[in-house]
């Protein structure tokens, strides 16, 4: 959790990004909405890109908290992956921040946050999944699991950016791939 000022700035920036799009958001607008000086915004985030990246990363952290709850609620790995992927795809379809990033509302400058410059989002998601899986299923998680988790996260991200199947079918596909990659047999 960030400082109250940082949280207020991120709340203001998220609201402005959703309502106006990236191009129309100015650092001054964010500062005014949060009741601080423009210099405070620059000190906290560096520039407009840093601010936008922080908004997306905070959104990602909230999503990952949901993933933790879902993984905890399932006893077997297949069911957990299935539910986590479906949750991710459905949430992303309705998430106003992801919509701004993916649709380019007000400009397509934010799309790299989920594509070519998505490392912070991908690394954070992969690390959280690996950490949770190691704690939850230590007997199933071997040394290759970080690679499997990274591939699964990247596959989910690609389906967020360019969906090709309904979320439930995509979730079944990815869950089968994950358990097979770990040498397990998925349910029929």
Q: Is the model more confident about 185 or about 117? A: 185
Q: Give CB contacts under 8 A, 24+ apart, made by 113-120.
A: 113/52, 113/53, 113/56, 114/56, 114/157, 114/160, 114/161, 115/161, 118/157, 120/53, 120/57
Q: How far apart are CA 100 and CA 25, in angstroms?
A: 12
186: which DSSP letter?
P
Token pair recorded at residue 180:
């097979």
Residue 35: phi and psi, rounded to 5, are 75, 35
* Alpha carbon of residue 99 to chain centroid: 12
* CA-based radius of gyration for the chain: 18
Average pLDDT over residues 114-136: 84
- Per-residue pLDDT, averaged over 128-142, amounts to 88
Token pair in block for residue 156: 């989910």
pLDDT value at residue 108 = 63
What tokens does 55 get?
Answer: 């908004």
Q: What is the pLDDT of residue 106?
A: 53
Range among 22-26, 63-67, 160-164, 166-170 rated most confident: 166-170
3-state DSSP assignment of residue 105? coil
Among the residue ranges 13-22, 65-74, 112-121, the one predicted with the least confidence is 112-121
Report the pLDDT value the prediction gives residue 105, as an integer from 0 to 100: 59
| 53-181 placed in CATH 2.30.30 | no
Q: How far apart are CA 68 and CA 111, in angstroms?
A: 26
Percent pLDDT > 90 in the chain is 60
So what's the pLDDT on residue 1? 55
Q: What is the dihedral of CA 117, 123, 129, 131, to 10 degrees?
A: -170
Q: What is the pLDDT of residue 96?
A: 86
Dihedral in degrees, nearest 10, Cα atoms 97, 103, 108, 109: 20
Please give the share of the chain, as a percent, with pLDDT higher than 70.
96
Whether 83 has a pLDDT exceeding 60, the answer reads yes
> What does the pLDDT average to over 2-23?
92
**Domain residue spans in the chain?**
53-181
Q: How far apart are CA 84 and CA 55, in angstroms?
A: 22
**In this predicted model, which residue has the larger pLDDT, 95 or 12?**
12
Task: Assign 94 to helix, strand or coil.
Answer: helix
């Amino acid at each position: 959790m960030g400082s109250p000022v940082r949280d207020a700035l991120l709340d203001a920036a998220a609201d402005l990004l959703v309502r106006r799009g990236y191009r129309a958001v100015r650092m001054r607008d964010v500062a005014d909405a949060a009741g601080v000086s423009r210099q405070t915004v620059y000190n906290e985030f560096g520039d407009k890109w840093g601010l936008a990246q922080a908004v997306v990363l905070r959104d990602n952290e909230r999503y990952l908290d949901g993933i933790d709850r879902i993984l905890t609620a399932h006893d077997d790995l297949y069911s957990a992956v299935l539910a986590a992927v479906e949750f991710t795809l459905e949430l992303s379809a309705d998430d106003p921040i992801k919509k701004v990033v993916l649709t380019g509302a007000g400009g397509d400058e934010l799309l790299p946050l989920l594509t070519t410059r998505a490392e912070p989002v991908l690394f954070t998601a992969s690390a959280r999944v690996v950490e949770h899986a190691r704690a939850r299923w230590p007997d199933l998680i071997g040394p290759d699991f970080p690679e499997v988790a990274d591939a699964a996260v990247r596959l989910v991200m690609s389906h967020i950016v360019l969906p090709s199947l309904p979320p439930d079918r995509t979730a079944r596909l990815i869950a089968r791939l994950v358990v097979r990659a770990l040498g397990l047999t998925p349910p029929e």
